[in-house]
Chain A
Amino acid sequence: MSLKELFPIKHVMGFVFSLILTVVALSVLMFDLSPKTGVIILLVTAFMQASIQLVMFMHAGESEDKHSIYTNVLYALFIALVTIFGTLLTMIWGYQ
């Protein structure tokens, strides 16, 4: 087996990515950002962080049932987003 196959390049990259994402998230504290920008940065990095964890370190895409795992995650995301934004819509934005 060559060195290339033995070296877990994907996982090292994933590790580096998650470190970078953590630093980016920290920047919200470091720099004087408006709350809105801060929350957006946090949300985006959090989602990326979660997906890296899921794919790289929890091996979501590696087993036979990866289809059901991804379908499940997407479905969960759909329901969570609908519930949260739907609640904001009915209770705050669209409330008279």
Chain B
Amino acid sequence: MDYFSRFAPPHSDPMIVMSQFAIVGVMIAIVAGLTYFKKWGYLWNEWLTTVDHKKIGIMYVLSALLMLFRGGADALLMRAQTAIPENGLLDGQHYNEIFTTHGVVMILFMAMPFIIGLMNVVVPLQIGARDVAFPRLNALSFWLFFFGAMLFNISFVVGGSPDSGWTAYFPLAGNEFSQSVGTNYYAIAIQIAGIGTLMTGINFIVTILKMRAPGMTMMKMPMFTWSVFITNIIIVFAFPVLTVALALMTMDRLFGTNFFTMANGGMDMLWANLFWVWGHPEVYIVVLPAFGIYSEIISTFARRNLYGYKSMVFSMVAISALSFVVWAHHFYTMGHGVMVNSIFSITTMAIAVPTGVKMFNWLFTLYKGKIEFKTPMLWAMAFIPIFLIGGVTGVMLAMASADYQYHNTMFLVAHFHYVLIPGTVFAVLAGFTYWWPKIFGFSLSEKIGKWSFWFIAISFNLAFFPMFITGLNGQARRMYTYSESTGFGPLNLLSFVGAAGLAIGFALIVYNIYWSTRYAPRHVTEDPWNARSLEWATHSPVPEYNFAITPTVSSTEAFWDAKEHGKPLFQGSYEKIHMPNNSGAPFIMGVIFFVFGFSMVFSMWTLAIISAIGIFVFMALRSFEKDHGHYISVEEVMETEKKCEVLKNEN
């Protein structure tokens, strides 16, 4: 029994025990269901081994939604705990674990995969490609993310969750102060997912540089593709820093090195430094694609072409460069001098300029537009003012001397939620609604969609605006309770009401998926929003090969020009189409990575070595494998196209 006692969470309470039972129960139910309905083959052939960018995108988005609910449950617990003074719902340790996992899950396992999922579905379609440049690598990216996320998620029922904040500052995250395996989970699960993200970065840069349709020069790419391109450049430059920092952290925690310790020449602040060298660009990694999504949506529903295309592109390039020169503003108060703080104050404020350019471009796009308030547009319209509050408070925080007042208070928490929720969550929900008919061939219900929008938009402000006030009054973040005499009680209760409203809004989104899948009319139109870019030029749902004939492009809004000005989009005749083969290797590698990660977390070296060898065996096998893909014959293409036409004409 001694051997197994290490797997028990150190701070077990009834909630965790219930979760343990629930997780085992759900797993049994899934296995039983798959067996009963004989879906194992379908699951393996259609999903687990797929290299199709659309299916991988769907899996990313589904996992992200799942993680949204995991992180959301954390958030609800936190708000419930702080709703009234001296509440006893959670103890301090439990609260620490929950705010840590909330941060990690929301940023790395919700925002990132949601963004990457949407870019997987949309970018190859927008540039007229058949798939991404390296389809199998893409599948591997997904499975590394997925198993990284799963490894992180089992932490709270097996061995205990990390509890030193999503920033995991040393010395707190060191062995001396974080003795449970929780922080090992942090180091290794994020590492595995991060490797997957880095691969995605390389994959999409190559895809966008090399696989655009004929005629689509860089300056004729749709804005979402541009934003994804810039994002992936940031990924490729920022993620290696995280990889190295996490590797050093792993060595400190597992092998007794002294990179970040207080003794033997270690430097605890170096962790904070490296973390934010990655961490600040990371903020732009999740926000820039959102800007791209809004650009598409705003120009579609304002029925105007995007104002200031070039300035949009240049401002994103500027943001990408500036995002790498501001990181020290995350630790103004941690020991460096006036000179350093002044430099980083100025660079931080400078970021407001290109962001402001983008804001004005959206406003000018709306100006004199025939605006149509469909659900995606509502999200975009709510984004502008709410994000503005986030941005303005960001400039307040950028002032180093004033930051001594704000830092580590709820004011900061309110600020970054005001940036990240409209900047990322609203955007992915908008993009999700906007591209849903593209993926599945039917639209989500507008009525339920609008209800969820209003619930989320209003409750969001209810939940987070009070934090600006309590923060300025001195409520510190990450405190699990406070006394009644502080007077923070009523506003925190209001926050909790907002959090509950948010929960209802997100539940409505799931209900919308359920309702629309059952009742929404099918194949109503292939272009439900009267959109402008190339992804709408093919059928919905999209056939395996995306475009039967590769489109030829001559402007930024190729599809609009084809619709409105009769420019021919598809020239030439059907040819056989070369497609990549499915492969089980990425999934199996993901599983092995999971085993490797798990054994590293618990220092089970034999298993770790065996699984590490397994990973290298797969890599070696791949380099000797001859896989030339397969061809879809002209007859097959014609048949599929005919089927799509028939379905279209039925309605």
Give chain A's interface residues, CB within 8 Å of chain B.
Answer: 65, 68, 75-76, 78-79, 82-83, 86-87, 89-91, 94-96
Contact = CB atoms under 8 A, between A and B. Distances in A.
Contact of A90 (B233, B237, B340): B340
Interface residues of B, number: 22
Contact of A94 (B241, B270, B325, B337): B337
B321 interface: yes
10 contacts: A68-B209, A75-B321, A76-B237, A86-B325, A87-B277, A90-B328, A91-B270, A95-B336, A95-B337, A96-B337
B25 interface: no
Interface string B259-272: 00000000101100
A82 B344 CA distance: 12
B600 to A, nearest CB: 27
Contacts of A65: 209
A90 B321 contact: no
DSSP class of B's interface residues: helix, strand, loop or mixed?
Answer: helix
A75 B340 CA distance: 23
Interface string B268-288: 011001100100000000000
Contacts of B328: 86, 90
Nearest to B339: A94
Interface of B: 209, 233, 237, 241, 267, 269-270, 273-274, 277, 321, 324-325, 327-328, 335-337, 339-340, 343-344
Given A96-B336, A96-B337, 11 more contacts: A75-B321, A82-B324, A82-B325, A83-B241, A87-B274, A91-B267, A91-B269, A91-B273, A94-B340, A95-B335, A95-B336
- Which 5 pairs show the lowest CB-CB distances between chains A and B? A94-B340, A94-B336, A90-B328, A94-B337, A79-B237
A82 B343 CA distance: 13
Contacts of B274: 87
B505 to A, nearest CB: 39
A96 B339 CA distance: 11
Nearest to B237: A79
Contact of A89 (B270, B277, B340): B340
Contacts of A68: 209
Nearest to A96: B337
B217 to A, nearest CB: 12
B651 to A, nearest CB: 45
A78 B321 contact: yes
Contacts of A83: 241, 277, 324
Contacts of B336: 90-91, 94-96
B335 A75 contact: no
B335 A87 contact: no
A57 to B, nearest CB: 22
